[in-house]
Amino acid sequence: MSGINKSSWEKYHPYSIAKENPSPKINIHDTRERSGTYTDVSGNRVGTDRQENMGLRIFAITYTTITLFFFWNIYSDQSASMGYVFIFPWFWIIGGILLGGLFYWKKVKVKSKSDWVTLIFATPIPTFLFMFIGSSIGENASSTYEYNKGGHRRRIVTYNYKDGITKRREFYKSDDTVTDENPFPADDTWLKDSVWVYYDKDGQIERTEDYRSGEHGSR
């Protein structure tokens, strides 16, 4: 090592540099906090943001899927719509209890805007908005009743004024035939049937339309 004295060599040796500039110590507790892992006052692990958010997402997806299934079932068999007047409130109550339990036992937490959006879809709020928008855009039936008679599926659709007085009553029958073994038509085509009755706001018959002649319009 000609030309380099001992002190200079020790100064620039990697081992000496490492001694003068040691790597910063890593605080395990801080690392856990930065990675989203939390501990209670006793040092026990509580959970992670990712785990909690995933639980909320799974709950919201399941909740929304069940709600969509209910609406699909109502659309497929409108005679079942009255039954959902009781099914929906029980579903909302049970869902609210389960969601409250998840928060109570700290299985889910809301920490960001995306979490709040996910939480909304775990509540009846989207259902209320959908029903409100649907009622505002077009005319919705007040009630629907279906039954089988004469080898066809029959449907009675009633529309009301805002004060509850009947506005009109429509009658349909399925284009497909039905049997006791297959009580629902395979094709969702409905023909106008019987005598449609229109009422004024005082409840008096305003006019009628007779569809019993055989020249049926489809719906």
Measured distance CA(101)–CA(103) in Å, rounded: 5
Structure confidence at residue 141 (pLDDT) = 80
Structure confidence at residue 67 (pLDDT) = 95
* 12 pLDDT above the threshold of 60: no
Which residues have a Cβ under 8 Å from the Cβ of 74 and sit 6 or more positions away? 80, 81, 84
**H-helix segments, 13-83:** 14-20, 28-34, 49-76
H or E stretch including 154?
strand 152-160
* Residue 3: pLDDT band with limits 50, 70, 90: low
Interval 117-133: pLDDT, tens: 999 999 999 999 988 88
193 CA to centre of own chain: 36
Helix (H, G, I), strand (E, B) or coil at 68: helix
Rounded to the nearest 10°, the torsion over CA 62, 68, 72, 73 is 50
Positive or negative, the CA dihedral 88, 92, 94, 95 is positive
Asked if 144 and 156 count as a contact pair (C-beta separation under 8 A), the reply is: yes
Structure confidence at residue 213 (pLDDT) = 75
Give the residue-averaged pLDDT of 25-48: 50
Give the residue-averaged pLDDT of 10-29: 53
Asked if 10 and 16 count as a contact pair (C-beta separation under 8 A), the reply is: yes
Lowest mean pLDDT among 39-53, 118-132, 194-208: 39-53
Interval 157-168: pLDDT, tens: 999 988 889 999
